[in-house]
Structure 1
Amino acid sequence: NPFNLEYRIIRPDGSLRYLESRAEVAYDTQGKTIRLYGAILDITERKQAEIALKQSEIRYRAIVEDQTELIARYLADSTLTFVNQAYALYFRRSPEELIGSNYQPIIFEADRERISQLIASMNADNPVVIIENRVLVADTVRWTQWHNRMLFDEQGCFIEFQTVGRDITALKQIEEKLFQEKELAQVTLQSIGDAVITTDAFGRIQYLNPVAESLIGCSEASAQGLPLLEVLRIVDEITREPVQNPIEQALQSNRIVGLANHTVLINQNAQEITIEDSAAPIRNREGQIIGAVMVFHDVTENRKLSRQLSWQATHDALTELVNRQEFERRVEQALHLAKLDYQVHALCYLDLDHFKIVNDTCGHLAGDELLRQITTLLQEKIRKTDTLARLGGDEFGVLLTQCTIEQALRVANELLLCVQKFRFVWQEQVFSIGVSIGLVGIDANNESLTEIISTADAACYIAKNRGRNRVYVAQINDQEQLQRRGEMQWASRISQALENDWFCLYAQIIVPIGPTAKNGVHYEVLLRLHDEQENLVLPMAFIPAAERYNLMHLIDRWVIRTLFSNWSTLVGDQQSIYAINLSGYSINDDQFIDFLHEQFILHPISPQRICFEITETVAIANLRKARQFIEELQRMGCSFALDDFGVGMSSFAYLKSLPVNYLKIDGSFIRNIVENPVDNAIVAAMTHIASVMGIQTIAEFVENDAILEQITALGIDYAQGYWIGVPQPLS
């Protein structure tokens, strides 16, 4: 067989040469070797070139394989011809899997067409293209950047593409975040309600947002590069003096600064705008100041509203007089001056006498108009240095500064006279209005504002009690005044008691004694108060004050709310009827029925278990209202008792108009029924009439067995009193 051998020889000079022998063997006809013929070529230069090329390729492969960049080569049809280890590891596939395959599926589908167009645009004049695209790596999408290069042979013919890539997902995320932050900042600056101005380190304008353009009256383009003071003119609202440039202050002091109050911007259109602002330096990473930013906003309406709210906080909206809070502040200031400089002042407390008649007859609109007209009338009679205030409702206060008690009395009498002469006309009705005035002096001897106000209020109350339409001058150690003050103190204590649950409930048993008694044992719910020292206080100590200061309806509601919410604890399963006393204030309260409905909804208590009591005098005071009230409660299922019956002037006549279930005969008739035949006759008459009308009777103040026997003989249905049972805590 012919052969081809490559081998090395060492020549005599010691040099190494590469030879290639090519030979064939010739045979005779018998198959014997005749000769060997061929050629020997010196291939040393070729071999050295091959060795150098192989070594170069080894070094190239080592460099390529050691790179962290993703390196690949591919043909024009996208077939991969080479990938380095980093490329294979990145896509989590072996080089054998990748080489010979099409790289297009690796690319995120939405980017494929764009990449194909960019690759197609490459040519000899444009052999390099940098592409950023997304790729799929184990079902996740990553961002990559590729340097694509065309490779050519020595003759300039295209061989294949080479690409070097790197993962830029983190960079893209940072870019996206920065872009979002920039967009957010830009949108924020464009859309916030504040004006924003930025300048360079020399105070030259670089940026205005739309609000700043609007307030200043010029565009960003026209303002750019100008010193701030050429564009922004700000002055003090009161002095009209220029205000120091806040940008300049921030740059000089290297800190955040704010505008002083009452700063006004005069814009390019000569409009005045009240502004509030702050300015701050802008620093680079090294902490060097490279500019400043000023943020300000229009507070014209806010400032106007603030002034309005300030006025409203110290004035009465209806009469535009100062209100109680401001009046008391001025009285306190007068007291301070009295103690400091021994000045003397005076205070008048005025209460209109017939205001309620106008309000009830003609309505609140008429009442409001009356108050406005009275205000004008009173203002004409006092000095500009004095203060007239509306203290609430139909009550007014007058602070007479630098005025002795004698001078003040003359002023008070003038006020009294002018109100006396005044006639209020409303829709052809004419009303005479009086006024009761309490007068008190203010000097160094007064202890406090509270003392002055309470003394004046007490004096006014005394004037009203003495027949109205008069002036009462408060005197030291005045017994009436002390009593009045006591009531005022009780009013405060009652409010505290309601807030702190100092009240407690008692109950007194009412037992059936007659054969016609329809129900079993009853109980009357009674109120007691624990004072600050935990002493038990009976109702008559605080009820007058509660009535005077319109607190009775709150007490009534407290009793009902407390009884109902603790029903299972206080009452339990017994089927007795519980009687609750109501004041005239609750009967006249239009919301009371709704309150009661709400309580029955909140608490599963049968209305048949509840009886309400009102006094005869309360019922007679507003007979029509009382009748409607009783009927409404009876429709709910409650029963009704008329308390203290017999003390009125025409009890029997009114009884016909009141559909009550029980009649509680006043204790003044029961207490002496055994000894006094007149009382006995009156109680007998009451019992007979009640029986005819189908009303059950209850005798109060049953204090001994003789009384019990007597009322039983008269046919009274129920008995209540200390002989029957003393009041016990309801528990």
Structure 2
Amino acid sequence: MQSGQGIQSELLPDKTLTHTVLDHIGDGVITVGKDGCVDYLNPVAEQLTGWACHEAKGQPLKDVFHVVDEKSREPKIHSIFDRNYGSRRQHPRKSLLLRKDGWEFTIEDSSSKIRDQQGNVIGAAIIFRDITELQGMERWMLYEATHDALTGLINRREFDSRLNQALAAARAEGRHYALCYIDINKFKLINETHGRDAADELLKQVATLLHSKVRDTDVLARLGGDEFAVLLNNCSIHNALEAANAFREAVRDYKFATNGEIISLGISIGLVPINADAGGVADVMGLADAACYVAKDKGNHRIHVYRAQDVALKQRHADLKWVQRIRRALEENQFRLFCQSIVPLNVPDAHSAHHEILLRMLDEKGELIRPSAFLSAAERYSLMPSIDRWVVQHALDLLDERMRRNQHIGIFAINLSAQSLDDENFLSFVIDQFDKSIVPPSHICFEITESTAISNLISATRFMSILRGMGCKFALDDFGRGFSSYGYLKNLQIDYLKIDGSFVRDLANDPVDHAMVESINQIGHIMGVQTIAEFVETQDALEKLIALGVDHVQGYQLGKPRPMWHSFQSLPPGGKIQ
């Protein structure tokens, strides 16, 4: 280590050049002005003190370079501006450096005055290095392994370790803890609108706000992304709720400024009590994560406290399991396409066979799972666009392969979700898939539910208009369920009207259902739209539908869903029921 006055000449002529040199040396260097306030920290000094250069600039040296005696822990004061300082050679001294976040380093440091060309003192430089047992990079690597680089808080790995220790103490000593799982509301929107730098600054400021509200005995961590956690030591659920409220209010009252805009913040908190029966780390973290999402679903600035027999949390847990299975099925192609025949009545179908494509999932044992088991979770967690993409791509691939073998295909109906219609990239994806395939768009019919079309009227109209222009057909599914939508039919260019199955099942025995089906069928025909009755399960219902003049029927009475490959030849061209 350089000591005494050896650094004076390097620091004097060109500050930019000097800083460039100091940025690449292995010792920590801090320069101060004559007023004793920090002017510059090199990267090593930033790491060892915990202060960024721009944060430390202008701060008193004692606040940034906080050194104490190793044994007495009394503060050590640098007297570098005393009159007699520098009259003799200065030897490096050992001290304990207290890092900003509480970590401690044993260092060796020396100081030197900085003079101008006339010999006047204009500042000073402090040079120091880490000489603890875990020196330099080894100690820093340990720190990096347990801390979040952005906020300086402990990371998920270290938090799990401390939570595990707390769980052991709860079992062995009967101690009580509480875990707060915290998520910043609308963080993704802020990130997308204002950029990554603003989002990173937001995370650092939220970390500071939370840190100001925790006790010395508590553990605050950044888990990743916009998620934080606080382990409250020796804390009842009542006190934990007060602490969670303090976190929530601190963030709610804070105004985040970025790019000339003031943004109000909010957080959602899942709160889980920890006792001897709490289970393992994964159990507690899973409950806390689920409780946080329940809080988020309830609206902004909410806290959800986990309790035994928590119905909302059980639903969340079930959904999360399905989300994992859905994502795995998408990645590993564990979905399967099935088809069910849509059969024409009385009038031969010029387009021959007509089928609706249905989806199944394979479980770990290779057993089929019906969509009613997993689609609600997919909708809640915005996975429907990914599922719809999978279906469109794989359906066209199968049909494309069939056509390349010069084999006949009819019309295949593909169901689309409301989320896909709202996805601005989904339309271009569908068009791209048609461009890659030899399947004529006229052989594809997209089914959209009545509620989806009405609630997304603008996007649905645009989507249908563009694809109809390419030759695709459209069916309005589950029509009549709301029965307030006849007026919307004028605004939707559709080819088929699918009568909701709730009216069809008991058609033969319920005069009200019979009247509803008759009414929908008549309206469809007046508008030049073909009608399809779904959920036809009995011969009596089928005969009633024939008498009413419904155009097509679908249901177990006509055939159960079959794997898509087996459904191409289910009817010969022009097939019909007499």
Among 280, 287, 290, the residue aligned to 1:455: 287
Letter in 1 for 2:487: A
Question: The residue matched to 1:574 in structure 2 has which SS?
Answer: coil
Q: Note if contact 2:182-2:229 (Cα within 8 Å) is conserved in structure 1.
A: yes
Q: 1:413 to 1:657 in 2, by over 3 A?
A: farther
Q: Which of 511, 518, 528 is residue 694 of structure 1 equivalent to?
A: 528
Distance 1:610 1:428 in 2: 50
In 2, the alpha carbon distance for the partners of 1:628 and 1:568 equals 26
Distance 1:415 1:702 in 2: 56
1:160-559 pair list within 5 angstroms = 314=148, 327-342=155-170, 344-350=176-182, 355=186, 364-365=193-194, 380-383=212-215, 385-387=218-220, 389=222, 392=225, 397-416=229-248, 436-443=268-275, 445-463=277-295, 470-513=302-345, 515=347, 519-559=351-391
Shift of residue 655, structure 1, vs aligned partner: 2.8
Asked if residue 721 in structure 1 is aligned to residue 555 in structure 2, the reply is yes
Deviation at 1:479, TM superposition (A): 4.0
Higher relative contact order (CA 8 A, sep 6+): 2
Query: Which residue matches 2:86?
Result: none
CA distance in 1, matches of 2:384, 2:268: 24
Could you give the per-residue CA deviations for residues 50-78 of structure 1, whole angstroms, max 9, x where no partner exists?
xxxxxxxxxxxxxxxxxxxxxxxxxxxxx
Provide the rounded CA distance (Å) in 2 between the counterparts of 1:406 and 1:523: 59
Q: Cα gap change, 1:679/1:387 in structure 2, threshold over 3 Å: closer, same or farther? A: same
Distance in 1 between the 2:548 and 2:393 partners?
Answer: 38
Match of 1:619 in 2: 453
d(CA) in 2 for partners of 1:688, 1:726: 28
Shift of 1:312: 13
- Looking at structure 1, the residues matched to 538 and 367 of structure 2 have their Cα atoms a distance apart, in angstroms, of 29
Q: Secondary structure in 2 aligned to 1:631?
A: helix
**For residues 715 and 417 of structure 1, do their structure 2 counterparts lie closer, same or farther at Cα, with a shift above 3 Å needed?**
farther
Q: How far did 1:363 drift?
A: 8.0
How far 1:482 moved relative to its partner?
2.7
C-alpha displacement at 1:693, in angstroms? 2.5
Q: Deviations over 1:241-260 (max 9, x none)?
A: 79xxxxxxxxxxxxxxxxxx
Partner secondary structure for residue 684 of structure 1: helix
Distance (whole Å) between structure 2 residues aligned to residue 660 and residue 492 of structure 1: 36
Tell me the distance in 2 between the aligned counterparts of 1:581 and 1:321.
48
What's the CA shift for 1:579? 0.9
* Distance change (3 Å), C-alpha of 1:569 and 1:517: closer
Contact 1:509 1:521 in 2 (8 A): yes
Q: RMSD of aligned C-alpha atoms?
A: 4.6
Q: Secondary structure at the match of 2:557?
A: coil
Please, what TM-score do these two structures have when normalized by structure 1?
A: 0.51
After TM superposition, give the deviation of residue 531 of structure 1 in Å.
0.6
Report deviation, 1:465: 5.6
User: CA 1:411–1:672 in structure 2 vs 1: closer, same or farther (change >3 Å)?
Assistant: same
Classify 1:492/1:271 alpha carbon distance in 2 versus 1 (closer, same or farther; 3 Å). same
SS for the counterpart of 2:413 is strand
Change (3 A) 1:420 1:241: closer
Cα distance 1:537–1:430, how it changes in 2: closer, same or farther (>3 A)?
same
Letter aligned with residue 376 of structure 2: P
* 1:468 positional shift: 6.8
Give the direction of change, closer, same or farther, for the CA distance of 1:365–1:659 in structure 2 (3 Å limit). farther
In structure 2, the residue corresponding to 1:617 is in which secondary structure?
helix
Once the two structures are superposed, the pairs formed by residues 581-596 of structure 1 within 5 Å of their partners are: 581-596=415-430
Matched, 1:602 2:430: no
Tell me how far apart the structure 1 counterparts of residues 127 and 260 of structure 2 sit (CA, whole Å). 51
Counterparts in 2 of 1:715 and 1:674: CA distance versus 1, 3 Å: same
Secondary structure of the residue aligned to 1:547 is helix
Q: Which residue among 652, 656, 660 is the counterpart of 2:490?
A: 656
Find the counterpart in structure 2 of residue 708 from structure 1: 542
Count residues in correspondence. 438
Measure, in 1, the Cα distance between the counterparts of 2:423 and 2:219: 38
One-letter code of the match for 1:483? Q
Q: How does 1:97-116 map to 2 (within 5 A)?
A: none
Cα offset for 1:462? 3.8
Q: What 5-or-longer segments of structure 1 have no aligned partner?
A: 1-211, 217-234, 243-261, 275-299
Give, as a single letter, the amino acid of the residue that structure 2 aligns with 1:331: F
Query: CA offset at residue 610 of structure 1?
Result: 1.1
Shift of 1:371: 6.2
Q: Deviations over 1:332-379 (max 9, x none)?
A: 1222211444464322234567x49x959x983499789668777655
- Does residue 629 (structure 1) correspond to residue 463 (structure 2)? The answer is yes
Secondary structure of 2:506's aligned partner? coil
Which of 460, 474, 484 is the aligned partner of 1:640? 474
**Deviation of 1:481 (Å):** 2.5
Q: Is the 8 A contact 2:421 2:460 kept in 1?
A: yes
The more displaced of 524-533 and 628-637 is: 628-637
- C-alpha distance in structure 1 between counterparts of 2:486 and 2:360, whole Å: 32
Provide the C-alpha distance between the structure 1 equivalents of 2:531 and 2:276, rounded to a whole number of angstroms. Answer: 61
CA distance in 1 between partners of 2:529 and 2:253 (Å): 52
Q: Which structure has the bigger radius of gyration?
A: 1
Matched to 1:669, the amino acid is F
Q: CA deviation at 1:720?
A: 0.7
- What letter is aligned with 2:159? V
Report the structure, 1 or 2, having the larger strand content.
1
Classify the secondary structure of the residue corresponding to 2:532.
Answer: strand
- On the 8 A contact 2:478/2:498 being kept in 1, the answer is yes
8 Å Cα contact 2:156/2:222 also seen in 1: no
SS at match of 2:536: coil
With over 3 angstroms needed to count, the CA separation of the structure-2 counterparts of 1:272 and 1:589, relative to structure 1, is: farther
* Partner Cα distance (1:620, 1:351) in 2: 33
Aligned positions of 1:104-183 closer than 5 A: none
CA contact 1:335–1:444 (8 Å) conserved in 2: no
Q: Work out the CA distance in 1 between the residues paired with 2:315 and 2:149.
A: 32
* 1:660 partner SS: coil
Question: CA contact under 8 A between 2:164 and 2:280: conserved in structure 1?
Answer: no
Q: Judging changes above 3 Å, is the alpha-carbon distance between structure 1 residues 665 and 610 closer, same or farther for their aligned structure 2 residues? A: same
Deviation at 1:728, TM superposition (A): 0.5
- TM-superposed CA distance for 1:700, in Å, is 0.8
Rate the CA distance shift 1:707–1:501 in 2: closer, same or farther, 3 A.
Answer: same
How far apart are residue 420 of structure 1 and its match? 6.6
Alignment partners' CA distance in 2, 1:472 and 1:649: 38
Residue 649 to residue 690, structure 1, CA distance change in 2 (3 Å): closer
Query: 8 Å contact 1:511–1:522 — kept in the other structure?
Result: yes
SS at match of 2:556: coil
Instruction: Give the structure 2 partner of residue 684 of structure 1.
Output: 518
Are residues 635 and 241 of structure 1, via their aligned partners in 2, closer, same or farther at CA, if it must alter by over 3 Å? farther
